[in-house]
Amino acid sequence: MAVSKTIAKQIENASWIRRMFEEGVRLKRERGADAVFDFSLGNPDVEPPPAVLDALRRVADGNRPGSHGYMPNPGYPQVREAVAAKLSKETGLAFTAEDVFMTVGSAGACNVILKSILDPGDEVIVLAPYFAEYQFYISNHGGRMVPVETDATFLPDVERIAAAITPRTRAILLNTPNNPTGRVYPQSVLRDLEEMLARSGQPITVISDEPYKSFVYDGQRQPEVASLIANTAICNSWSKSLALPGERIGYLALSPRLRDAAHLRGACAFSNRILGFVNAPAIWQWVMLEAADESVDIAPYENRRNVLCDALAAIGYEVRRPEGAFYIFLKTPIPDDVAFAKRLAEEGVLAVPGTGFGRSGYIRLSLTIPLEQIQKSISGFQRAFLSSALKKF
């Protein structure tokens, strides 16, 4: 076989979202697109803000001399400086251009930092349920993912994290606002984590993956992880905040308080290069010089969340209203989440089983579908709930 055993096995383990996608294609062919409600993919269904597209046009028309050539691997110095200034304002820390690496999305940033810090067999703690790609990002660089369960409300359980630390622990991967749970980690939990890490005396890097940072509802904000935890490396992108996931633009930022920052900077520039990214897309770096502070309107997402959570609760589902990101992680009325996702698919409703995120008994619903579609899907959620409840008795 041409494909390595490792990749073949990884594809098999990672196929939940793909399976739902294929199921969606089949159902749409059978029933027509209008009768299928696809909550499976976290792909923003809104267009980028006009100011971003205007900046793109200006950059293309301006055609800066030399703007199509190779550049320093971490990106254009002016762009890195602008990102550093934005981060300094947000966190109160003195980021400089040297701390910032423009990357191919947040996924690129995660891979760059993991490549830079892991030796084979090193461990990375990930909080379950987790974004499924993390296991592959970690194993890409010889690391071992150590999943640690969150508490009953999906917040980090600092004592459990402390118990999972071994001499091989090199990093903890945090994601807040969280995919798939929608939880926004509060200051108090981040502080407790920092205190525990300081007590442990081990040089553990907290990798803060923040692509949903601007998606916090009810007028709240995400507390700054880098302000609260000294040893932080931030991974972020404009994939969600500007609805640009296909353009692959993001950054890695090393906190000025990070231990051994000078060595790590050199390592990250090198990793960006040898992972084959070489540098982040040039044109989008220039666009970000002008439009980094823009954001899509999150009000429609908040409204969809409210409508769907209220409707599901009225049916009888046990619903935890997400505070951020754009997912609902819904407890299934039967323990077998895969069976329940199949039952929902019979109703034309596509969801990803929690098993794919390391937590069975739940499904993930992405709020990236139009409100009218959400409203039309409710009767399907109701029929699936009732038939599952009947089976239980």
Ligand X SMILES: Cc1ncc(COP(=O)(O)O)c(C=O)c1O
Nearer to ligand X, 235 or 384 (CB): 235
Give the separation between CA 93 and CA 59, rounded to whole angstroms: 30
What does each C-alpha distance from 148 to 126, 128, 140, 157, 332 come to in angstroms? 6, 6, 20, 8, 22
* Closest separation in Å from C-beta 106 to ligand X: 4
Nearer to ligand X, 34 or 47 (CB): 47
* Closest separation in Å from C-beta 132 to ligand X: 9
* Closest separation in Å from C-beta 236 to ligand X: 8
> Which of the residues 227 through 246 are near ligand X (CB under 6 A)?
237, 239, 245
Options 53-61, 101-109, 113-121, 141-149: segment touching ligand X (CB under 6 A): 101-109
* Closest separation in Å from C-beta 325 to ligand X: 8
**Residue in the structure block whose two tokens are 């071994």:** 166
Give kind and range of the element (H or E) at residue 172. strand 169-175
The contact mask relative to ligand X for 104-143 (x = CB under 6 A, - = no) is -xxx-----------------------x------------
With residues binned 3-state (H G I as helix, E B as strand, rest as coil), the percentages for the chain, rounded to 5, are 45, 15, 40
Residue 286 one-letter amino acid:
W
Q: Which two tokens stand for residue 61?
A: 């028309």
* Closest separation in Å from C-beta 288 to ligand X: 13
Residue 177 in contact with ligand X, rule: CB under 6 A? no
Nearer to ligand X, 55 or 104 (CB): 104
CB-based burial, 210-239: b 16+ in 10 Å, e otherwise: bbbbbbbbeeeebbbbbbbbbbbbbbbbbb
The contact mask relative to ligand X for 34-53 (x = CB under 6 A, - = no) is --------x-----------
Nearer to ligand X, 127 or 384 (CB): 127
Nearest to 84 by CA among 74, 71, 93: 93
Residue 175 in contact with ligand X, rule: CB under 6 A? yes
Candidates 143, 211, 356, 358; binder of ligand X (CB under 6 A) is 211
* Closest separation in Å from C-beta 250 to ligand X: 5
**Residue in the structure block whose two tokens are 């009947």:** 390
SS3 assignment, position 362 = strand
Nearer to ligand X, 126 or 229 (CB): 126
Q: For residue 176, is it left (φ>0), alpha (ψ between -120 and 50) or beta? A: beta
Nearer to ligand X, 73 or 106 (CB): 106
User: Total binding residues for ligand X by CB under 6 A?
Assistant: 13
* Closest separation in Å from C-beta 304 to ligand X: 17
* Closest separation in Å from C-beta 88 to ligand X: 22
* Closest separation in Å from C-beta 137 to ligand X: 9
Contact 137, 107 (CB under 8 A): yes
Give the separation between CA 162 and CA 118, rounded to whole angstroms: 20
Task: For residue 153, count CB atoms less than 10 angstroms from its CB and return exposed for 0-12, middle for 13-18, buried for 19 or more.
Answer: exposed
Candidates 116, 179, 222, 271; binder of ligand X (CB under 6 A) is 179
Residue 176 in contact with ligand X, rule: CB under 6 A? no
Nearer to ligand X, 80 or 213 (CB): 213
SS3 assignment, position 73 = coil
* Closest separation in Å from C-beta 117 to ligand X: 18
**Cβ atoms within 10 A of the Cβ of 29, count?**
10
| C-beta nearest to ligand X: residue | 105
Give the separation between CA 233 and CA 211, rounded to whole angstroms: 13
Nearer to ligand X, 136 or 270 (CB): 136
Q: Which two tokens stand for residue 184?
A: 């926004």
Nearest to 59 by CA among 43, 44, 76: 76
The residue ranges that bind ligand X (CB under 6 A) are: 42, 105-107, 131, 175, 179, 209, 211, 237, 239, 245, 250
